[in-house]
Chain A
Amino acid sequence: MKRRVQGRLRTAVVAGLCGLGAALCGIALWTGGPAHADVNGRTGEVLTYASPVEVLFSPDGTRLYVLCQGSAEVRVLDAASYAAIKNIAVGRVPRGFSLSADGKRLFVANSWDDTVSVIDTGTLEVAATWPVGAEPSSVVEDREGKQLFVANRISNDVAVLNAQTGAEEKRLAAGRGASYITPSPDGSRLYVTHVYPNFKPRRTGMENRTPPEAEITVIDTARAVVAERIPLHNIAHGFHVAFSTDGRLGVAAQLHPKNLVPLAHLEHSGAFADTLTLFGADVGKPVEIPLDELERYAVRPFGVAITADKSRIYVSCEGSEIVTVIDVERLLRFIHTHQGPYAQDLSASANYVVARIAVGHDPRGMVLSRDGKLLVANRLEDTLSVIDTRSNVLSKTVPLAGPKQLSVLRHGEQTFYTARYSFQGQIGCANCHIDSTFDGLTWDLEPDGFGRDIVDNRLLEDIKGTEPYKWNGGNPNLPTECGPRTEKYFWRAENYDDLTLTDLVVYVRSIPRRPNRWKLPGYELTPAQERGKALFMRTADKFGNPIPEGNRCSYCHSGSKGTSQKSFDVGTKKATDNTGLLDTPQLINVALTAPYLHDGSAATLEEIWTVFNPEDKHGRTNDLTKDELNDLIEYLRTR
């Protein structure tokens, strides 16, 4: 009893601290700071961190361009001294950038503004800002300077623009969450990865319990068409690709989840495999190789770089905060002399991983210099790690100008992205909440029983005020969700101290909602959205029969976030579910978060009503036509 009281007291203390932190964050936002202004929760001072995510050298090697997501700018540094030359403001949450073939222009994908900034590298001024697709995440120009290719994360495609005017010419379908584009060394092909698993057409009804599938979309740049889709079986999240200079070896960084196996423990890579896919003439068919070891993991491989002499591959691993070094000759010898598959073999990496170099918090993009340096952008540390590739030793850490204090939000975000708190450092929050969002997967968590209560992962955006958490509503607040529950059933290792938990909770509560791409400027609704809204709000069906209050969309999905914060039985209980009483999920950016329902059994919003609502328990919808359901979807997309 005494212990229970102490436990409650601890939760109450953390909740109180969270409230204080959140209040201070609220002050910062209220003062109208920039979208990514941060706050030191202990003083209320607004802080803006640089948060570097990508780094590039100018063609002559004299300048360094650093893409800073937090401060929304490109920082230009002297490549020798790292002295600042100029900071160039770009759009919100820039995620990717690249130089034109002639080096005269720098293109920046502004993911929250849906624009590309075109920077003149001679004047270091933004020469143009072009509207593009939804959540542009990387941008590459073809060798001839005719076309620009932009990966759009939300519209799951690659937009092809006229490189001189920015006019969009066509769209090419890519993987879900298309994000990173890498050209082949000769520029004839572009390789596009995506951060969410591909949608699966409904065939067996068990799509939510089959392995995720991803792809590398290969684009023929001359014809601007998709030339090939390299399938990545069992891969859910793809990140950077790199090529050897001879073009014979391609390497893609990726995450291989174990979401179909009950998550009972973490040892022996129980939750994720951190892997690379190798492709190209050197390997023949694509090969997946693991980076993890038996007791040491290379969590969330993100950036990849291959030395000019093809002797080494460098991989930045976000969660482990390291750069993994691979000996290419040993790697190729291994895959040519050992029969695969290798992804499940935790002793495989001993054959080719030759070093693991500690770098800063959340290492992301990397670039190699001509003189043998590897630069790594440490997003949550505002530093660049400089690694001497001859010795594979960290030779220097270059701080970027910015706040020196570690704010509540910053510390919380570092905690969210690191894997250090889990058993053997295997996973972090960001493993399942990619870039603080979701993962498009369903998981089988151990406490509910093996094979029981399969749960869809939910979006974290703007979740303040949507408690309780978990699909069964079993967790009353974030300190419980992120504290004891995470410690016991996810990390399988001791958790954070109270201050760290507080900072993490404040960060999670502050994760903003991405701009809604379906809302018109001024938040007017289209006619279809208006019709959908009327259906959402209706109190009687098409036949004039009143709809009981509890069976109206607007009753359960009430309020600005679309949740009444109560649990209901909407008739979706499966034989493997322990309860049919389910928490009402928020509707924030619901259009992005497929699959749907508590167990991810509905691949689309429409399936919620056409497949899983035969008795109208999940709202009165069986009187609606296909067109009306489309209207309803149009409205939901604005939430």
Chain B
Amino acid sequence: MRDGARAVWVAVCAALLLPVCGFAPDPAQSVGADFIVTAAPTYEPLAALRGQERFKKGAQLLLVHEGQAEPLVPGFAATADANVSFSAKKVLFAGKQAAGDAWQVWELTLKDHSVRKLTTGAADAIRPLYLPGGRMVYAQRTPFGFQLESARIDDRAATLAMEPAGTPAVLALTYMQASALPADVLADGRILFEAGFPLGSGATPELYLVYADGSGVESYRCDHGHARWGGRQLASGDVVFTHGASLARFTSPLAHEERVAAPHAEYVGAIAETAQGEWLVSARTAASAAYAVKLWNPGAPAMEAVLAESGENLVEPVLLAPRTWPHRHPSGLHPWDYANMLALDARLSRDGDLKGVPAQVRLEMEDAQGHAVAMGMAPVEKDGSFFVKVPGDKPIRFALLDAKGAVLRHEMGWFWIRSGEQRICVGCHTGPEHASENRVPAVLLRTTTPADLSVTGKAPQRSTGGN
């Protein structure tokens, strides 16, 4: 049976059977609110980072009310990725009306169960999340994999008035040749997203941050090396995520992740925090079993079953309850087609001391074919500062060179600076824990005009890399 037909078959069966037999709730267990969960015979959560399908045999969003599950959006061939609006009156989801359709973003109004389609492209659009200011962020399939986009979903005048003039209805937020998937919108307004590490080139899932206008992209933490995904922010501000098959968290005081001492199980995807501070998780105790929804009171020795179904993975639980509005990010981008970047001290890095004195910095841009194109070089001052004008909205990376042109350090991945953005970096991979020192960078005492690396004076040269 082809995957598409199989998906339809599963969806139809699920839709027919659910109201009759229901899933298997533990009647003793109360979450304290309705919740939505995705039911899927198979679940490959990281497939989308490779540009592949996560739910090869289909998926169905279930609304769980007092322990009873029923399809949230009947009539769809597939539904997934529920995100509840801040007022809990609407739900964003990715859906396919017909099995052969691409995934599109829809919005369900809970009051009357009406749905409206928010994306219309021919390619998949998945993992939608509400943003403050009448917009949403989602992942749009492109020739380079899934890219984050923000789209206006509320055209009321009061909402429009919050946007800077000229803000497009659909705004690309990521600019790299690798996939990215939104994970959560943090209380401070930034978007938490998953992508491979090193960014733009690597395959190890990692968590990153970006502002709602695509500026300020950075790793959440720089203790890389672990597979981290499925991040979700708690009321405390901590971010809990899946680390391999276990749970871990980022806390505000620490520059590195902290393991969560949760009961032994294989966890998958984002958790949901209840109003009482308990966690709804998707977990299983054996690799052959399906993921089930469980409730865990952090610190408790065991979890309690909430919902399970043989042969169905129940994943990505979200509570159907109002939640705090994140801060809206007021974009301060300038109307430029380039960007500026000021490095305060490129010598600083978590990676240790340089083996020489940096004298110049080389900018590379990734072209459409994935080749690194050298955009030119700029001087590095004695205090490690440099100031450059770079192409906006393009994958770029820097390398530090000594006076003889030998590479002292180079970025492994790619990042971007939005057109009109003025970015400051404290160092080169210093980690978010390293704050700036209070001194005027020497480069700004010499000039306030950035070295123009936004275009090469001649035809762009392909970088040979290394030295």
Contacts and interface: CB of A to CB of B under 8 A. Distances in A.
A3 B164 CA distance: 9
A635 to B, nearest CB: 35
Contacts of B4: none
B444 A494 contact: no
A493 B189 contact: yes
A344 B163 contact: no
Interface residues of B, number: 46
B132 interface: yes
Interface stretch (B50-58, B326-334, B372-380, B396-404): B326-334
Contacts of B253: 293-294, 296, 347, 349-350, 353
A542 interface: no
A269 B444 CA distance: 20
B330 A256 contact: no
Given A450-B342, A494-B329, A424 B434 contact: no
A347 B254 contact: yes
A10 to B, nearest CB: 7
Contacts of A265: 216, 424
Nearest to A576: B448
Interface stretch (B351-359, B362-370, B435-443): B435-443
B329 A268 contact: no
Considering residues A270, A290, A451, A489, which has the most beta carbons from chain B within 10 angstroms of its beta carbon? A451
A450 B344 CA distance: 12
* Residue from B216, B253, B432, B437 whose CB has the most chain A CB atoms within 10 Å: B253
B448 A446 contact: no
A295 B237 contact: yes
Interface string A266-306: 01111001000000000000000010111110000000000
A344 B434 contact: yes
Which residue of A258, A270, A293, A294 has the most chain B CB atoms within 10 A of its CB atom? A294
Nearest to A353: B253
B254 A350 contact: yes
Interface in A235-289: 256-262, 264-265, 267-270, 273
Interface in B296-347: 327-332, 334, 340, 342, 344
A3 B167 CA distance: 11
Contact of B438 (A4, A261, A292, A450): A261
A491 B332 CA distance: 11
B433 interface: yes
A341 to B, nearest CB: 9
A268 B216 CA distance: 12
A344 B435 contact: yes
B161 A3 contact: yes
B338 to A, nearest CB: 13
B255 A258 contact: no
B124 to A, nearest CB: 31
B327 A423 contact: yes
Contacts of B423: 264
Given A261-B424, A576-B448, A295 B252 contact: yes
B326 to A, nearest CB: 9
Contact of A450 (B163, B387, B434, B439): B387
Nearest to B387: A450
A209 B440 CA distance: 7
Contacts of B422: 262, 264, 446, 450
B140 to A, nearest CB: 26
Interface in B214-243: 216, 237
Contacts of A261: 344, 424, 436-441
Contacts of B450: 450
A494 B342 CA distance: 25
B157 A2 contact: yes
Contact of B432 (A6, A257, A267): A267
B254 A256 contact: no
A561 interface: no
Contacts of B340: 450
B434 A346 contact: yes
B155 to A, nearest CB: 11
Nearest to B253: A350
Interface string B139-160: 0000000000000000001001
B424 A211 contact: no
A500 to B, nearest CB: 14
A392 interface: no
A495 interface: yes
Given A347-B254, A353-B253, A492 B165 contact: no
A295 B329 CA distance: 16
B188 A6 contact: no
- Most A CB contacts (10 A, CB to CB) among B132, B157, B163, B436 go to B436
Interface in A450-502: 450-452, 484, 487-489, 491-495
A345 interface: yes
Interface in B161-200: 161-163, 165, 188-189
A234 B438 contact: yes
A494 B440 contact: no
A493 B424 contact: no
B436 A344 contact: yes
Given A3-B161, A295-B237, A350-B254, A493 B434 contact: no
Given A3-B160, A270-B424, A211 B439 contact: yes
A488 B333 CA distance: 9
Interface string B49-83: 00000000000000000000000000000000000
Nearest to B333: A488
A258 B448 contact: no
Contacts of B445: 209, 451
B463 to A, nearest CB: 27
B188 A424 contact: yes
A262 B424 contact: yes
A7 interface: yes
Contacts of B447: 451
Given A4-B165, A261-B438, A268-B432, A493 B329 contact: yes
Interface in A565-597: 576
A74 to B, nearest CB: 39
Contact of A489 (B332, B344, B441): B332
Contacts of A3: 160-161, 163, 165
A6 B157 contact: yes
Contacts of A450: 340, 342, 387, 422, 424, 444, 448, 450
A350 B330 CA distance: 31
Nearest to A209: B440
A447 interface: yes
Interface string B16-48: 000000000000000000000000000000000
B332 to A, nearest CB: 5
A469 B448 CA distance: 25
B330 A495 contact: yes
Contact of B436 (A258, A484, A487): A258
Contact of A345 (B328, B332, B344, B434): B434
24 contacts: A2-B160, A3-B161, A258-B438, A260-B438, A261-B440, A268-B433, A269-B435, A294-B253, A295-B237, A295-B252, A296-B252, A344-B436, A347-B253, A423-B188, A444-B440, A449-B448, A450-B387, A450-B448, A451-B387, A493-B188, A493-B330, A494-B132, A494-B328, A576-B448
Interface of B: 132-133, 157, 160-163, 165, 188-189, 216, 237, 252-255, 327-332, 334, 340, 342, 344, 387, 422-424, 426, 432-441, 444-445, 447-448, 450
Interface of A: 2-4, 6-7, 10, 209, 211, 234, 256-262, 264-265, 267-270, 273, 290, 292-296, 343-347, 349-350, 353, 423-424, 444, 446-447, 449-452, 484, 487-489, 491-495, 576
Given A265-B424, A296-B237, A450-B340, 14 more contacts: A234-B438, A259-B438, A261-B437, A261-B438, A268-B426, A268-B432, A347-B253, A423-B188, A450-B342, A451-B445, A487-B330, A492-B329, A494-B133, A494-B162
Nearest 9 Cβ contacts at the A-B interface: A451-B444, A350-B253, A269-B435, A451-B448, A494-B328, A347-B255, A347-B433, A296-B252, A293-B252
